[in-house]
Structure 1
Amino acid sequence: MSPTRRTTRRPLARRRLPRVAALAVLVASASACSAQATEQWSRGGMPEGATDQSLITQTLWNGAWIAALATGVVVWGLILWACAFHRKKKNSPDQLPPQVRYNLPIEILYTVVPIIMVSVFFYFTARDETEIMKVSGNAPVKVKVEGRMWSWGFTTEYQGKTAKVEGVPVDLAKQSVENPEGPQLVLPTGADVEFELHSPDVIHSFWVPAFLFKQDVFPGDVRNKFQIKTLNRTGVFVGRCAELCGVDHSKMLFSVKLVPQAEFDQYIQSQAGSAQ
């Protein structure tokens, strides 16, 4: 091989190396995105749950999708079958397809099958809702949530100590998923938490998407309660008001920080008796 050829090939290899590296990074990113998209599809578009109840909600959601798709396949199949085999004939345009009026067996089938389907949906929904809304009254951590125009206040009670957090409407220009604005509610993992919701003005809605749960906050009614069973992972999760409540509704944001029990104990000790 001549020196000229060797000199020519080396710069060519150097030019191709960044392209190969970029292609490898692109393939790796596509694989990661594909795995993330597959996981998202398996949850039916729901976020990953952070509580024991979220598994119940996720199972009900997936079951509803499967039932809806099965029903859709049957309906679409019947429509296509009717279009394919009962369309107007060219040689006899005035001939009607076979009629099924006053066909008692078919009419009974049309009535009984939807009733069975609705009954099954109702049973599973009522069963799961009863379990999700169950409040034992002996949760070690209790949180009083006040939703007001247009922010949130949280009073956390734990082992005789109280930590209070008061918020103001957030600046949406500074809001981000990594560093959410607004008041932050700190809770321990591995513990049950009871929430008591109330409002001094209008109806709001307390919603943390990672809990796969939300509940309205009614003015003058402190009986609106729910309980989260065993927060199962750490992290910071964004929350918001899910009820259109006024001009600054979009600024009514907050976050929930789930921490290990030891860190939560330190937080309660440092915040006890004070307002953040």
Structure 2
Amino acid sequence: MPQPITEQAEKIENLWVFTLIIALAVFFAVEGALIYAIIRFRKKSDELPPQTHGSTALEIVWTTIPVLIVIALFSYSFITLREVEKKAPEDALAIDVTGFQFSWEFVYNLNELGPGSDPNAEGSFSIIGTAAQEPTFVIPVGEPVEFRLKSNDVIHAFYIPSFLYKLDVVPGRDNRFVITAKETGEFTGQCAELCGLNHALMRFHVRVVEREEFDRWVAEQVQANASVRQP
């Protein structure tokens, strides 16, 4: 299990642990009852043991327990899903992610760079991966970031293991999700949907940094893009 680095990933991990605990409890209860029955009621002679036909109390118990388990799993899963799939706040940093055979493009709009950004700012810059160069994009720590996913060709899947979250990138469909990173560092992502012969090349990296470093990086990217456009 990858170490979760976002608030949403921690909620997903807690749900996974809760489900695992219930699964282990059921497993040991069933296997324990089975082993007890094998030992306690093993055949000792040809004499037919006392026969019991039906037990209302027992049937109520083995019907009620699974119902309660299903209700608990459904309720916790529903609560976690609502938390993980909350809409992004209006001042969240937004990144337009495009998957294509066989890499990724990350576009930052200058009027959607998170809290404090100028809503009237114009322009954008992009990070585009190639077969020879895996793309690396940057996000600030402790701030909500919305990923808006689209595809130019076939179905891809945007997956960063440390997010504990994967979302398909579907042509003609706008999929999006929000995360808030809790620690800095560099993490690897990939396409998790078999999308063609060079599917394995669709790796990328995300750097989580402090807001000051993120602002410097944005300024560098804007300057670099401006210099490229100059005749």
Deviation at 1:98, TM superposition (A): 4.9
More helix by share: 1
Q: Which amino acid aligns with 2:29?
A: V
Report what 2:185 is aligned to: 235
Report what 1:267 is aligned to: 217
| Mapped partners of 1:98, 1:246: distance in 2 | 64
Deviation at 1:136, TM superposition (A): 2.9
Report what 2:54 is aligned to: 102
- Pair 1:245 & 2:195 matched: yes
| Partner SS state of residue 177, structure 2 | strand
- Pair 1:182 & 2:137 matched: no
Q: Is the 8 A contact 1:139 1:194 kept in 2?
A: no
Report what 1:119 is aligned to: 71
| Partner SS state of residue 232, structure 1 | coil
Deviation at 1:53, TM superposition (A): 1.2
Deviation at 1:244, TM superposition (A): 1.7
- Pair 1:167 & 2:129 matched: yes
| Mapped partners of 2:19, 2:151: distance in 1 | 33
Counterpart pick for 1:145 among 94, 97, 107: 97
Report what 2:177 is aligned to: 226
Q: Is the 8 A contact 2:134 2:204 kept in 1?
A: yes
**Cα displacement string for residues 112-152 of structure 1 (whole angstroms, at most 9, x for unaligned residues):** 21111011001001100110010134143100111122211
Matches within 5 A, 1:1-276: 46-89=1-44, 91-92=45-46, 95=48, 97-157=49-109, 158=113, 159=117, 160=121, 162-169=124-131, 182-222=134-174, 224-229=175-180, 231-272=181-222, 274=225
Change (3 A) 1:100 1:210: farther
| Mapped partners of 2:50, 2:88: distance in 1 | 60
TM-score for the superposition, normalised by structure 2: 0.86
Q: Is the 8 A contact 1:238 1:255 kept in 2?
A: yes
| Mapped partners of 1:197, 1:115: distance in 2 | 38
- Of 116-125 and 266-275, more deviation after overlay is shown by 266-275
Change (3 A) 1:262 1:169: same
RMSD between aligned alpha carbons?
2.0
Deviation at 1:60, TM superposition (A): 1.2
| Partner SS state of residue 76, structure 1 | helix
**Cα displacement string for residues 230-267 of structure 1 (whole angstroms, at most 9, x for unaligned residues):** x2211110001111222211111101011111111111
| Mapped partners of 1:133, 1:149: distance in 2 | 27
More strand by share: 2
Q: Is the 8 A contact 1:169 1:248 kept in 2?
A: no
Structure 1 residue runs of 4 or more that deviate by more than 6 Å after TM superposition: none
| Number of matched pairs | 216
| Mapped partners of 1:98, 1:124: distance in 2 | 44
Q: Is the 8 A contact 2:88 2:145 kept in 1?
A: no
Deviation at 1:102, TM superposition (A): 3.3
Any gaps of 5 or more consecutive residues in structure 1? 1-45, 171-180
Q: Which amino acid aligns with 2:188?
A: V
| Partner SS state of residue 48, structure 1 | coil
Q: Which amino acid aligns with 2:208?
A: L
- Of 251-260 and 159-168, more deviation after overlay is shown by 159-168
Q: Which amino acid aligns with 1:162?
A: S
Q: Is the 8 A contact 1:153 1:164 kept in 2?
A: yes
| Mapped partners of 1:100, 1:63: distance in 2 | 37
Deviation at 1:99, TM superposition (A): 4.7
Deviation at 1:272, TM superposition (A): 2.0
Change (3 A) 1:65 1:246: same
Q: Is the 8 A contact 2:103 2:203 kept in 1?
A: yes
TM-score for the superposition, normalised by structure 1: 0.73
